[in-house]
Chains A and B, each alone.
Chain A
């Protein structure tokens, strides 16, 4: 007996020694493992920070635009030499000349063709159309002189936003030393002002960065989401109700289930191919139309809506159904009168999250021709249109530096919408969530 005890004690002591000798390295390993974990979390949080700082730093300046004040002399000789005040003549007059004269008056010592051309290019080409519209609206302006503010050309705008590095060799920048001098002189005369960039929020795409805006794209996105929600939400909810409440166990229902799960994981570009082949080539719906985009996005969003709606229906306790059935309600009445109203907030939450995903989706829209350069603002879902993410894609490809700023600004707007939708979903969930 004592023999066995001694042996046990000895082996316990040995085990203890063994364990203690390995403890240091085991604890070190534990600390290393934790360090990896912290590093991973810090890395991902740092990336989020880096990402947002970069985008906001690049984009925030686009919300303001430099304006130049010019004294425009509405010279009757230039605008309407015949004096008839015909709208036809007024709309085709040489308004460029007015801007030119006014700039030349400011800088009388500029000579030479190329210098003059450079000087003229400091004011946006949009000034011409603005002048034309003013004259067409009020012909009595002719013969008078007005001080007017015009959007500056994108290069001048970039200069005042500090995005032109004056230390770089003159030949390798698009804004030369003369332009710097002119710009400074304009500033000294108080002819430069930064204003809130309303153009960016009210106009469509343009080749000139200072005249381009996101309104057309935003409206296209809005029409698309409208089509998406009108189709995907009722269909998705109906499908979910069927699968949760009515579906018998058979092959067809199994097939539907498998299909929904697989569709949720099909790459979005494949949905674009489907839209191209079916909606555009087979049903000959118009290309570039938000209607087609909305249809494609609806097919894409539907699995998300179905899955979310099913879990919302599952969360309604069976006792509610039993009570309704017990009081003599039919199965359809039970669902429409009791289950559906209780599950609706959860379904809406899922639908909003699905829509948020659809809003950021780009690849399928490229397939159905929504990448065209479109200036006009769409009025109906059948007009050719762009969408916010597609606009970002198009601008990101443009070589002008001013478009970098606008791309980032468009991204900020898009992310703001996404955040808003997600916040709405979270609010809806917390407001209407019930614990049974």
Chain B
């Protein structure tokens, strides 16, 4: 039975339950008068439906979550010993073969063992879906029936339906927590496996990064070393350049927009900045790689020094432009939130506009601006596409912005895109880097919130 068929039958049963429940409530209501009835017929209908819906839904979710793993383990336990006792990576490959053979997408001919296993896999899948279908039908129908027979005028149907609704809302809200837990677990578990193979001190303090591990034992020069310091310095350099571009310009734009500009020009300039904020990062990356990098290279060539085609400068400049609207819109909000009374007081004492801004408004707005700055740094560190397209791949430990450097995000992408074998330290290293990235950005966000909360001046 296909899952869609099962779901359709399920929906039909529930709808029938709803109609039956509402009808019965109507009948009772007309017979005894609606005054004695606790809830409207509508709610009785919903209530009957919920009686059938919830148990069957749980069985569907359980099926989706566990049936595949269960089937695979059954198939594996039926495999010949030689295959079953393989180490995990090879076993996973064998399982993949079985899956492909079962789906009929195997390119080359399958071995006898594999095709037998694939057959068993398919028959188990069929069986499990039939079991699910029967379970769903029985559970939903009997649930609806139970709800239907319990229905009388004293059932507090509305309250029951409403508390179910609230529980559903709570579950939806909890998805955010679930996502965080998912991120932490998936990244942390793989990262821990990485740190079993590579000591964490080497990862954090090692100066040499070349994640290519040898495929054969006798290969030369590719033992793989995982010192991530060059990645950290590269990330910091590009972030630093980006902030050097974005902060002065963004802040000045915000000040000028908030304090000087006429409303007419403001309505032109503000949408333009918002346009800048809406451009996808891959477009910035393309722009950095195909327009800015050649311009810089030619410029350097004319000035007589060498600028690499994948220089930190190019990526940083474009990233700065990407961050600029973020900085300016946050600063704009913060500056506008400074009460007018402070400005008037300063003008009254004879200060010029710029003096008012630098001596009164900016100090008052500082916590918000610093918070925005920290958020912008966290964005720049986590930014991926610009650096993937415009920064280098080789890990250079250098302080020269004209050379190519690589970043944490670039390495995550290069390690995980394309063919990958799980369990190799090369692939797991990406999760180690991901964990570092997650912890750092999370820390910066927390810090930003703290700064804003601790140092905010309360006016009026």
Contacts and interface: CB of A to CB of B under 8 A. Distances in A.
Interface of A: 19, 26-27, 29-30, 33-34, 36-41, 43-45, 47-48, 51, 54-55, 234-236, 238-239, 241-243, 246-247, 253, 255-256, 259-263, 265-271, 273-274, 276-278, 281-284, 299, 302-303, 306, 330-332, 356, 359-363, 366-367, 369, 371, 389-390, 392-393, 396-397, 404, 407-408, 411, 414-415, 418, 422
Chain A CB within 10 Å, residue with most, of B176, B248, B253, B412: B176
B409 A396 contact: no
Interface in B343-371: 350, 352-355, 357-358
A265 B381 CA distance: 12
B383 A267 contact: yes
A270 B165 CA distance: 32
A404 B290 contact: yes
Chain B CB within 10 Å, residue with most, of A366, A369, A407: A366
Contact of B252 (A36, A241, A246, A255): A36
Interface stretch (B20-28, B194-202, B225-233, B435-443): B435-443
Contacts of B449: 261
A407 B389 CA distance: 13
B113 interface: no
A306 B279 contact: no
Given A48-B275, A274-B182, A361-B280, A43 B352 contact: no
Contacts, number: 249
Interface string B241-273: 000000011101101110011000000010011
Given A270-B441, A278-B182, 12 more contacts: A26-B352, A30-B353, A30-B354, A48-B273, A263-B180, A267-B438, A273-B434, A356-B278, A389-B280, A396-B290, A407-B286, A411-B283
B409 A299 contact: no
A418 B280 contact: yes
B176 A303 contact: yes
A273 B283 contact: no
Contacts of A39: 252
Contact of A242 (B173, B255, B325): B173
Interface residues of B, number: 88
B63 to A, nearest CB: 12
B186 A277 contact: yes
A263 B179 contact: yes
A265 B326 CA distance: 13
A282 B363 CA distance: 51
B183 interface: yes
Contacts of B261: 41
B172 A48 contact: no
Dominant SS among interface residues on chain A = helix
A270 B172 contact: no
B272 A48 contact: yes
A26 B355 contact: yes
Given A34-B260, A277-B186, A269 B442 contact: no
B162 A330 contact: yes
Interface string B373-399: 001001101111100110000000000
Chain A CB within 10 Å, residue with most, of B175, B409, B412: B175
